[in-house]
Copies of this chain bind each other. A is one copy, B any other.
Amino acid sequence: MPVQTITLIGAGNLGYHLARTFHSKGFCIQQIYSRAIANAKELAALVNAEPIDDLQTLVHADLLVICVTDSAIQVISDELPVFDSIVVHTSGSTPMEVLHRHSRHGVFYPLQTFSKGFPVDFQNIPLLLESSSFNVQQELMQVANKISNSVFSVDSLQRQKLHLAAVFACNFTNHMMAVASSLLKEANLPFSMLENLILETVQKAIKSGNPESVQTGPAIRGNLGIMQAHSELLKDKLLWQKIYTFVSESIIEMGKGGKAGYETF
């Protein structure tokens, strides 16, 4: 029997976006749980659900979606009453097995970063599924295919590597921009000066299909003079200096294997 009713455990950014998307695709959102009842109420009101702050007041739903901080998943799973619901978590790095108390369990991992203010369209967001049985997999597939065009089955190790890759490509990329922004502030220059460059860089990397092949900059050119000058500029920021050194080393290392190495900037 296909999933019709869904309960969300957690009313943070991901819970917010998932609840609204499931609701808009015709699923019935049964309950929204949050430790802070105010958060549960706010979201529940948007999707016509019952807000709760006590897991013992859960009623049956076909699918229970745990979207809380990774470190709380196991605790929540252990506190959940055992129904015959499918219980999934939504974490990139948590093994599926933490849900083993529930005979039908799985992972429903949307590969995207969510912030409350910014709308997202799940259609283009890859959903990565893992399941405790073929039957559960089929039911999760049906739910996933209703909200996304890009659904994959992966095992826990693949998902973990993918999450790690996403940390590099997304979280670390954002931090590189944050460091740049801070350096510009120091020089009394606006971050907006870099916008065009950043967009061009990312579009080129994506278009190429292989970012390694379009690497530019002093490291890939082996320009030690500039790298030393940059390191000197960072002498009061030891952590950034280390990052500069190791990322440059890694660029040089990777460049040895391929034929990266464009000439300018």
Contact = CB atoms under 8 A, between A and B. Distances in A.
Contact of A180 (B168, B188, B198, B199): B168
Given A174-B215, A215-B175, A250-B239, A71 B12 contact: no
Contacts of A56: none
A247 B199 CA distance: 22
Contacts of A81: none
Interface in A178-215: 178-184, 186-189, 191-202, 204-207, 209-212, 214-215
A125 to B, nearest CB: 6
A124 interface: yes
Given A14-B265, A164-B230, 5 more contacts: A70-B226, A163-B230, A171-B215, A175-B247, A199-B206
Q: Is the interface of A mostly helix, strand, loop or mixed?
A: helix
A162 interface: yes
A249 interface: yes
Given A13-B264, A264-B12, A169 B177 contact: yes
B170 A113 contact: no
Given A182-B212, A243-B247, A200 B168 contact: no
A233 interface: yes
B191 A210 contact: yes
Contacts of A200: 112-113, 120
Contact of A115 (B150, B158, B216, B219): B216
B194 A169 contact: yes
A169 to B, nearest CB: 4
A59 interface: no
Interface string A70-107: 11000000000000000000101100000000000000
